[in-house]
Chains A and B, each alone.
Chain A
Amino acid sequence: MLTIDKLTKTYADGHQALRDCSFTVPGAQVVAVIGPSGAGKSTLIRCINRLVAPTRGHVHLGDTDLTAAGTAGLRDVRRRIGMIFQEFNLIERLTVMENVLAGRLATVSFLQAFLRRFPAGDIDRAFELLGRVGLDGYENSRADALSGGQRQRVGIARALMQEPELLLVDEPTSSLDPKVARSIMGLICELAGERRIPALINIHDVGLALGFAQRVIGLNGGRVVFDGAPEAVDEAVLTRIYGADEWRDAFRQEGGEDMLAAGGAAS
């Protein structure tokens, strides 16, 4: 269970990215976090695994207070949280296998990491995950030789390699074309579902968000302005999240057709 309690982030330049955000993700639930650019979506998920240090508030994963973890504790906490990125953030010059095994770094020594001597069990699991994300036979390809969709599949395998209790997903489809974006979003939700891992997915494409998530959280100006089922997202809610006119533009992006269907169901 993930509990976020009055999470606040004020950057050094005075910009308030998050203001008293609170919500709970009780179990394996796919939560889409939507909101205009600058709403604080990216800061929110980075404050959870402390890539960004929160100013105030608490984050609990199970019984662990993530905001209180020390250096050694932080490594363990991060191991328990898998992260998937917009730009994939693979190590471009390393092979697919090395990238997937990076998910085990918290459990091996410096020397093992340097020599790439990972336990046999980890390697077995890496092969299994590569198969699961549809990259059988790609283990020795360099990451920079893959297409965008393939790279994100490696990113997904790397995150799952950590055996995470939570998935943080930051705009997973923004660097992909609409068709690939759909299949990647489907894959993430499918894997999160079958492994019973809660997932927090930042996504600006409302169509995809409503199509795949079991719950939607709307952020605006660093505040949670909506928290409910995708079916409850109507024009009024979108106006609250995006402002009067902007939300229409949000649909005019990749997920346009999806939105017609989802919006039709909602209204």
Chain B
Amino acid sequence: MTGAAASAPGSRPWQRYTRGQRLARFAAWLAAVAVLVWSAGTLDIHWPFVLDAPRQAGDLLGRMLPPEWPFFAQVIGPMVETINIATLGTLLGAALSVPVALMAAQNTTLNAATLWAARVVVVASRSVNELVWALLFGVVFGPGAMAGMVAVGVSSVGFVSKLVAEGIEEVDGGQVEAIAATGASRGQVLIYAVLPQVLPTIIGVLTFRWDINIRQSSIIGLVGAGGIGITLNNEMNSFAWANVTVILIAIFAVVMASEWVSAQLRRRVT
């Protein structure tokens, strides 16, 4: 039998990697560890503080509990403002996204220049953090809810127009062709053939973004752009930790509620 010779021990050596590959892998691991050590070094970690952290955390928890429940009355106003910033900001973002989404979709854009311009707007909106937008618009409109609303709107444009543009690119071309064949104008084709097909996507994306914006607008107050974040910042600065707990619980409750609402809305349109 030919198999007998082949099955002698050691006659068919097998190794997962060649010698060269093993060396390369070892070098890669070594480099990864070196980067880790170097980046930890640049952080300039003050070890006594790190070792002290558990005790400090316990101390903070002691000061935060029990929550100062009566403070809840003063949270309602800013919380409502937060929700309004998120809602109006989402609507502003939706309005701003209409031209951007149309230009960012291959099948509705006018030419290569508009396609790229829209893509730049999408990337610009997404790459700058909400807090940075809030700081910028705080300078433009002065601190307050207006700056917050515009910041939320502008930072929503990238997310909304990107996803809606993808929805536009997926529409059934046959339906578009049929409406164009009736002699409809370009605009009429958009509202009659494209919009009905993209509407579920638009509603889904907007409610999802509204849910994200509720979370965003609860922190942009930290840079003065209105909402519950201002209250949170004030209470932290005055070391009123029991009040901070009430605020955190309120934010948690609202975010949970908004997530539920947006899930319900999205389920309805699909």
Contacts and interface: CB of A to CB of B under 8 A. Distances in A.
Contact of A105 (B172, B188, B197): B188
Contacts, number: 80
B182 A162 contact: yes
A17 B179 CA distance: 24
Interface in B185-221: 185, 187-188, 191-193, 196-197, 199-200
Nearest to B198: A93
Given A87-B174, A92-B175, A93-B197, A105 B181 contact: no
Nearest to B197: A93
B98 interface: no
The number of chain A residues touching the other chain, given as a range, is 20 to 34
B18 to A, nearest CB: 45
Interface string A145-176: 00000000001001000100000000000000
B174 A89 contact: yes
A92 B183 CA distance: 19
Interface residues of B, number: 21
A261 interface: no
Given A87-B174, A92-B175, A102 B196 contact: no
Contacts of B188: 105, 110, 113
A74 B186 CA distance: 12
Interface stretch (A4-12, A78-86, A218-226): A78-86
A94 B196 contact: yes
Interface string B155-198: 00000000000000000101101111111110110011100110
Interface of B: 172, 174-175, 177-185, 187-188, 191-193, 196-197, 199-200
Given A77-B183, A106-B184, 15 more contacts: A51-B181, A78-B181, A78-B182, A83-B178, A85-B174, A89-B174, A89-B178, A90-B175, A91-B196, A92-B175, A102-B178, A102-B184, A103-B182, A158-B182, A162-B182
18 contacts: A75-B184, A77-B183, A78-B182, A80-B183, A83-B181, A87-B174, A89-B172, A89-B174, A89-B178, A90-B175, A93-B197, A102-B178, A102-B179, A105-B192, A106-B182, A106-B183, A110-B191, A113-B191
